[in-house]
Amino acid sequence: MTFEVDMWEPIEYKAKHSIDLTEEEAKWLLERKDPSDLERLYRLADEVNERLNGRVVSFIHNMNVNYTNICEYHCTFCEFKKLPTSKDAYILGFDAVKRAMDEAEGELSEITFQGGLSPKVKFQEVLDLLSQLREAYPEVHFHAFSPEEIDYYSEETSQSYLETVSQAKAAGMNSMCGTAAEVLDDEVRKKICWEKISSEEWCDIIKTSHKLGMPSTATILFGHIETPQHVVNHLRRVREVQRESRMITEFIPLLFMPDKTKLGRVIDKSMDRIAYAFKMIATARLYFMNDIRNIQTSWVKLGWENALRSLSYGANDMSGTLYHENITREAGGENGEYTPREKFVREISRVGRIPQERDTVYSFQRTQATVT
Ligand code: SF4
């Protein structure tokens, strides 16, 4: 018979006194299932969030530019990629992107610029598109390229990561997307995205961006085959990178959407996915307490009501308006979402929080030492 140690006492003490949680404590939190434990976790995460961010909830007016959906990798969770022969495959040119950006309501703050991986799309062509956009929109922040794209283009051009990221920066990149992280545990990566870079390489590329003065985000794709141990391995790596550079602006937990994917067919269907998402947000808030101030929730993945609920479980950022889908529709893509700023303001206020539009690097937090 095994007895489980109750870790609430040290965890609550640490949370109240801003002392870092260990990986073991974070894992224990992720293993909680009892509703009363979950309530306790959410309350604690909310307290820490309140201490760091007050009642403020931020969002950004942004657009996704996925410059191509052609990708020759085989990640088992991906619904986005198309083969070059697909009738829905596209490669965007400057005119199509410009048209979409010009149609956006009000001035866009950020463009998230990413694409699939294929010999059909050369790094130089992508850089040319980025420089043209940079020239046409000097005020916009280009949040560009995942570590995976950097690795792919480094290989294509036989350059080091440093050279590749430097070229991207010269073309107009302002910060790096912390995507393609999936779960930073090579045991999981080998099963769900075996062609992708290792966890170590992902961290190296993120650190390269930081060395060149460009911040990044950090994501996790969860809700598939990972265990709490895999998750804490991921959290530990992200915290280690952050402790070297302090240049990760936010942590973004992305709930895996199983429909229509290969991976979706093998996961545990009985799992309460929304409850898991809340637990992930709350645990990330506590684990990153002294290292990453912003924990994002996703209205696209969780739906508006659940995303609003998660603001009481440790999240302080509602992500973006995601003004993008007219580009992909035009280019042959499917569906899409855009939510005007007014809805963010209205909904965030409705749950008793203070809406605050932000830029990519949360500049407002630098001028607002105490948020009430
Ligand atoms: S590399 Fe990206 S676009 Fe390509 S299959 Fe994997 S997740 Fe999809």
What confidence tier does 371 reach under pLDDT thresholds 50, 70, 90? very low
- pTM for the full predicted model: 0.94
Cα separation of 41 and 49, whole Å? 12
What confidence tier does 327 reach under pLDDT thresholds 50, 70, 90? very low
* pLDDT value at residue 3: 67
**Which amino acid type is present at position 368?**
Q
Q: What is the mean pLDDT of residues 48-77?
A: 96
Contact yes or no for 285/49 (Cβ under 8 A): yes
Cα separation of 155 and 175, whole Å? 21
Does 3.30.470.20 match the CATH number of domain 8-366?
Answer: no
Domain ranges within the chain, ordered by starting residue = 8-366
- 9-36: per-residue pLDDT in tens? 999 999 999 999 999 999 999 999 999 9
Q: Which atom of ligand 1 is nearest to the CA of 115?
A: 3
pLDDT averaged over the chain? 93
Whether 372 has a pLDDT exceeding 50, the answer reads no
Instruction: Provide the β-strand partners of residue 320.
Output: 60
What confidence tier does 2 reach under pLDDT thresholds 50, 70, 90? low
Q: Which atom of ligand 1 is nearest to the CA of 69?
A: 3
* pLDDT value at residue 334: 42
* pLDDT value at residue 280: 98
Whether 337 has a pLDDT exceeding 80, the answer reads no
The count of other CB atoms within 10 Å of the CB of residue 345 is 15
Please say whether the dihedral angle defined by the alpha carbons of residues 337, 362, 173 and 202, taken in this order, is positive or negative. Answer: negative
Whether 333 has a pLDDT exceeding 60, the answer reads no
Contact yes or no for 231/183 (Cβ under 8 A): yes
Q: What is the mean pLDDT of residues 264-276?
A: 92
Phi and psi (nearest 5°) for 26?
-65, -40
What confidence tier does 324 reach under pLDDT thresholds 50, 70, 90? low
Q: How far is the CA of 193 from the centre of ligand 1 (A)?
A: 8
Please tell me which residue, 330 or 258, carries the higher pLDDT value.
258
Q: Which atom of ligand 1 is nearest to the CA of 148?
A: 1
Those residues whose C-beta lies under 8 Å from the C-beta of residue 309, and which sit 6 or more positions away, are 278
User: Does ligand 1 come within 6 angstroms of the Cβ of 72?
Assistant: no
Phi and psi (nearest 5°) for 279?
-65, -40
Q: What is the mean pLDDT of residues 215-224?
A: 98
User: Does ligand 1 come within 6 angstroms of the Cβ of 75?
Assistant: yes
User: Does ligand 1 come within 6 angstroms of the Cβ of 71?
Assistant: yes
Pocket test for ligand 1, best of 117, 121, 191, 221 (most atoms within 8 A of CB): 117
Pocket test for ligand 1, best of 69, 72, 81 (most atoms within 8 A of CB): 81
